[in-house]
Chains A and B, each alone.
Chain A
Amino acid sequence: MLAGNAAGGLACLLAFRLVSLAHDAPAVLIYPSLFLVPFTIGLVAAWVWRPLQLGIGLSLLHSLLCTVVGLLAAYLAFREGVVCLLIVSPILYLGTVAGALAGRVWFRSKNDRINFCLGPLLLLAVAGEPSLRGAHESVVTDEIRIAAPPAKVWPHVLAFPAIREEPRYWLFRVGLPYPVDTTNGGNFVGADRACRFSGGAVFKEKVAELVPEKRLTFDIVEVPRDPELVGHLDAHRGQFELRDNGDGTTTLIGRTWYSLRVRPAVYFDWWTHDIFRAVHLRVMRHIQQLAESGEN
C-alpha cells in the first residue's frame, strides 16, 4: 500500500524536477497545482494498488493514509508550517481520493493502451500547468463603523500600541501569526512602518500615500521568513481609508492587495480572504476601541 504512495510521490518529484529544469529556476520557486499533484499521486497509487482489488471504502482509507504521509513529507522535507498543512489537507485529500477513485475505475478495465497513455499525459499536465497560469492578484476589503469622528480615529491608524486581546480567529489560536502592534517612522510618504505579528514576525512597510484623516496606503517591502507566511502568497500593499459619515462616526475601511502563488486559486483565495479578514478585523477593532475610548 505504501508502495502506491511512494510511486505517486516519485512521479510528481520527477515532474517538479522537469519543471524546475525547464524554467531554469530553483525547485522551491515552482508551485504546482495542489489539486493536480495529489490527483496524480492518487492515480499512480491506484495503479500500484491494482493487485489488491480495493473496494471504494478501502480506497478512501488508503488515500487518507497517502495524504497523511504526504503532509508529513511536506512538513519534514519542505519545512511547511502546520497551519499551511492544515489549510491544504482537505484539498490534498480530495485530490488524492479523486485520483485513486478515478484510477480504480480506469485501471480495472483491460484497455492497456489507454492506461499507458495516461501516465505521460498526467506528468505533462503536472509539469506544464504552472507555466500556463498567469499571476492571480486580488484585494481583500473590510469595513467597520466607529463611533468617533475621523480626527479621533486617524492617530490610531498611523500607529497603535500592543493589542492585548486574545485572538478569536481559530487559525490564530492554532499558530498562525496574528498582528500585535504597529510602529510608525514618520507621517510622510516614504516613511518606514513596521507591523509586528505574534512570534516576533515583522512586516516592514513604507508609506506610499498619506492624506490626513482620509487615507493611508503603504507598500509591504519585507515579509518575515516564517514557514506559515513565506512562499504561498505575497501581500504587496495595505490601505486604511476613513470615510466621514457626517454624524460623528467614521467608516474605517481596510484593504490588502496580494498575489497568490498556490493553485487552485478558487480554493486558496477563499482561505486568503478569510485570513486577511481576521487580520483586518483584529487591527480595526483595536483602532475602534482606542478611538471610541478617546485614548491617545
Chain B
Amino acid sequence: MLRFVVRYFRWLAHVPFATSLFDAFLLSWTAIFHPRRLQAIEAMEAAVLQLPGVSPARHRYGGQGFVCAGQEFAHVHGNGLLDVKLTRERAARFVAQGRAAPHHVFGPSAWISFQLHTPADCANAMILLQAGLPEQGS
C-alpha cells in the first residue's frame, strides 16, 4: 500500500498533515493485522532512541524519523519499513550482503530499506541504524 501511495499520491506530501495522517493509518493497520510487526517497530524504536545523541523527529513523508547531530539519518514508516541513510558504498555492501534492499523509492542510492516483520528483525535493523549514525559534532 505504501508503494502505491508513494507512486501515485506523492503530491499528498504538500498537503499539511496528510502524510502524518496516512502514516498513522498505516500504523493502525499494522497494529490490527500485523501485531508482531508492531512489536518489532516498537522494540526497534526504543532501541534506536537509546543510541547516543539520537532523538525522535517527524519524517517529512510520514513516519517516525530519527535525528542525530541535526540530521535525519533514518525513519520507520507505519508498515514497518525502515529507511536508513548510509554512504553509497556502505549501502551497496549491505544490499549485496542481503541485509537490506535498495531504497523503496530512490532505488540504488545512499538510502537503503529494510522491512521489519518480527522482533527478531530488530538485530539486523540495529546494525543498519548504527552504520547510519552520523558523526556527532561534525
Report A's interface with B, CB cutoff 8 A.
39, 55-57, 60, 94, 97-99, 101-102, 105-106, 108-111, 118, 121
Which of the segments B24-32, B95-103, B116-124, B128-136 contacts the partner chain?
B24-32
Please tell me if the beta carbons of B28 and A101 are within 8 angstroms of each other in the complex: yes
A56 to B58, CA, bound (A): 15
Please tell me if the beta carbons of A105 and B64 are within 8 angstroms of each other in the complex: yes
A111 to B65, CA, bound (A): 13
Task: Give 22 pairs: A residue, B residue, CB < 8 Å, sorted on A.
Answer: A55-B46, A56-B27, A56-B41, A57-B39, A60-B31, A94-B25, A97-B28, A97-B31, A98-B21, A98-B25, A99-B24, A101-B23, A101-B78, A102-B17, A102-B21, A102-B24, A105-B20, A105-B56, A105-B63, A108-B64, A109-B57, A109-B58
Question: Using an 8 Å CB-CB cutoff, how does the interface string of B42-71 with A read, 1 for contact, 0 for none?
Answer: 100110000000011110000111000000
With A94-B28, A109-B56 as contacts: A55 and B42 at CB distance below 8 Å: yes
CB-based nearest A residue for B46: A55
| A264 → B minimal CB distance (Å) | 13
CB-based nearest B residue for A57: B42
| B46 → A minimal CB distance (Å) | 7
Q: Which of B58-108 contact A (CB under 8 A)?
A: 58, 63-65, 78
Question: Which residues of the other chain, A, contact B78 by a CB distance below 8 angstroms?
Answer: 101
| A93 → B minimal CB distance (Å) | 9
| B96 → A minimal CB distance (Å) | 32
- Which A-B residue pairs are the 6 nearest by beta carbons? A102-B24, A101-B24, A98-B24, A108-B56, A102-B20, A109-B57
Question: Which residues of the other chain, B, contact A97 by a CB distance below 8 angstroms?
Answer: 24, 28, 31
Tell which of A55, A98, A118 touches B28, judged by Cβ atoms closer than 8 Å.
Answer: A98
Question: Which residues of the other chain, A, contact B20 by a CB distance below 8 angstroms?
Answer: 102, 105-106
CB-based nearest A residue for B27: A101
Question: Which residues of the other chain, B, contact A110 by a CB distance below 8 angstroms?
Answer: 55
Question: Which residues of the other chain, B, contact A94 by a CB distance below 8 angstroms?
Answer: 25, 28
| A204 → B minimal CB distance (Å) | 43
| B121 → A minimal CB distance (Å) | 16
Given contacts A56-B42, A101-B23, A108-B64, 6 further A-B contacts (CB under 8 A): A94-B25, A97-B24, A101-B28, A109-B56, A109-B58, A109-B65
CB-based nearest A residue for B78: A101
Question: Which residues of the other chain, B, contact A57 by a CB distance below 8 angstroms?
Answer: 31, 38-39, 42
Question: Which residues of the other chain, A, contact B65 by a CB distance below 8 angstroms?
Answer: 109
Question: Which residues of the other chain, B, contact A118 by a CB distance below 8 angstroms?
Answer: 17
CB-based nearest A residue for B41: A56
With A109-B56, A109-B58, A121-B16 as contacts: A56 and B23 at CB distance below 8 Å: no
Tell which of A105, A109, A111 touches B23, judged by Cβ atoms closer than 8 Å.
Answer: A105
CB-based nearest B residue for A46: B24
| B53 → A minimal CB distance (Å) | 14
A56 to B41, CA, bound (A): 9
Please tell me if the beta carbons of A56 and B24 are within 8 angstroms of each other in the complex: no
| B118 → A minimal CB distance (Å) | 15
A8 to B88, CA, bound (A): 46
A111 to B78, CA, bound (A): 21
A105 to B62, CA, bound (A): 9
